[in-house]
Every structure is written in C-alpha cells, then in structure tokens.
C-alpha cells in the first residue's frame, strides 16, 4: 500500500476519533510529517465547513453583478500608477528616470 495514502487514512481516522488502537502510533507519527500535518489541517478545515451554519441566500443576479464590477476594475498596478490632475481627471504618471 502507498505510504502516503495509509498516512492520510490514519490521520483522517484520528480526526474522526475513529483510529484503531493498532494504528494510533502510526497516526501520531504521520502528524509529524509535512504531508500528515497538511492532511490534519485540511480534514479539520473540511469538517469546519461541513458543520458551518448555512449562509443566507444571495439576491438574484448577485454573481453576475459582482463579475461585472470586477471586470470593470483596472488591474492593481495600473491603479497604483494612475495620478489625477488638479481638475480630478486622470493624468499619466511620469516615467521614472
């Protein structure tokens, strides 16, 4: 059996408080590996999401309106480089020397 797969299985069982006594030492050792620690965090994040309260319904067309507003925004770099003249109109920023 694939060691990483076995480690993920025992970490999952540990998260669910269903680890077999014979696998407890393996599960605890798996938590010390980068992959085991990541699996532990991922499984807990999934559990938190599954137990979370439902969110209220969004208004009809919310996704489309949000997408349109995001599409209308200029990229962050351009916004940071933009300047305005005294009248408030956008002015081209001077090129650095």
Alpha-helical segments (H) within the chain = 3-15, 24-31, 34-51, 62-72, 76-81
**pLDDT given for residue 4 in this prediction:** 85
**pLDDT given for residue 74 in this prediction:** 80
pLDDT confidence tier of residue 88, bands split at 50, 70 and 90: low
Torsions phi, psi of 10, nearest 5?
-70, -35
**90 pLDDT above the threshold of 80:** no
- Per-residue pLDDT of 23-80, as tens digits, reads 999 999 999 999 999 999 999 999 899 888 888 888 999 999 999 999 998 876 555 5
What pTM did the predictor assign? 0.51
**For the structural domain made of 1-78, what CATH number should be given?**
1.20.970
Measured distance CA(39)–CA(9) in Å, rounded? 9
Q: What is the largest CA-CA distance in the chain?
A: 75
Torsions phi, psi of 89, nearest 5?
-75, 145
* CA dihedral sign, ordered 9, 10, 14, 18: positive
Alpha-helical segments (H) within 32-61 = 34-51
**pLDDT given for residue 92 in this prediction:** 57
* Contact in structure between 34 and 11 (CB atoms under 8 Å): no
**pLDDT given for residue 26 in this prediction:** 93
């Amino acid at each position: 059996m694939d060691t990483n797969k076995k480690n993920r299985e025992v970490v999952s069982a540990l998260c669910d408080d269903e680890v077999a006594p014979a696998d407890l030492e393996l599960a605890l050792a798996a938590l010390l590996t980068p992959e085991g620690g990541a699996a532990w965090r991922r499984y807990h994040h999934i559990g938190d999401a599954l137990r979370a309260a439902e969110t209220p319904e969004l208004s009809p067309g919310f996704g489309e309106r949000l997408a349109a507003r995001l599409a209308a925004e200029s990229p962050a770099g351009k916004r940071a480089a933009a300047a305005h003249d005294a009248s408030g109109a956008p002015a081209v920023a001077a090129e650095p020397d």
